[in-house]
Structure 1
Amino acid sequence: MLLIACPYCGNRPETEFRCGGQAHIARPADPTALDDDAWSAHLFVRANPRGIHAERWCHAHGCGRWFNALRDTVSDRFLETYPVGAQPSRSIETEARA
């Protein structure tokens, strides 16, 4: 079983968590200025890279809090978890080269 390190609760089984998609997506300053295609792209189009990816996760069956994680999409290995609003201690580009 895969253990995920919740930054608030510690290591817990993967069945307690839900993925919320790509992390660090900034909301447009003025969404009304976007046409329908641009707004649709903002809401639904996300990166799906092979390798290191920043994602949002919710500890749904635990503390219920959201956090971010760096995860390798090839190996499904979690490299780091950190609170929402924080930045990871390592860069995605550096990890991708390692």
Structure 2
Amino acid sequence: MLILECPYCGVKADETELHPGGEAHLTRFGPGSSDDAFESYLFMRANPKGVHFERWRHAHGCGKWFHAARCTVTLEVFGTYSAQTTEPPSDIIEKIAARRPGWAKESQA
């Protein structure tokens, strides 16, 4: 079972208390963008086997959105952080790199 800690209220919640929101750190496109850019935003998502950055909502708690870094294979959670953060915090990147030698965030694109 996946357990994430909400960075806002500090509650450790299992996945039944949370709502997934898909890939984190996407560049959003809307009205006025090219058809190709909007199509890419809507349909093209990374779905890596391994480290992934995701959006989650503490649906049955404080209700706030946050980001989580986790491994899709082992369900290992590297950390959670504010949804207002545009890039993963350096301490989480360092934790991932320490546990996954050879991993680089650039390889997730």
Shorter chain as denominator, the TM-score bin is 0.7 to 0.9
The SS at the match of 1:75 is coil
Q: Paired residue for 1:24? A: 25
Contact 2:7 2:66 in 1 (8 A): yes
Query: Residue 85 of structure 1: CA displacement?
Result: 2.0
Unpaired runs of 5+ in structure 1? none
Q: Which of the residues 78, 89, 92 maps onto 1:90?
A: 92
- Structure (1 or 2) with the greater strand fraction: 1
1:65 aligns with 2:69: no
- Normalization by structure 2: what TM-score? 0.74
Structure 2: distance between partners of 1:41 and 1:2:
29
The corresponding residue for 2:105 is: none
The answer to whether the 8 Å contact 1:67/1:84 transfers is: yes
Distance across 1 between alignment mates of 2:2 and 2:37: 37
**Matched positions, count:** 96
**1:6 maps to what in 2?**
6
Task: Quote the Cα distance in structure 2 between the aligned partners of 1:2 and 1:42.
Answer: 27
Moved over 6 A (4+): none
Q: SS at the partner of 2:39?
A: helix
Q: TM-score, normalised by structure 1?
A: 0.82
Percent pairwise identity? 46
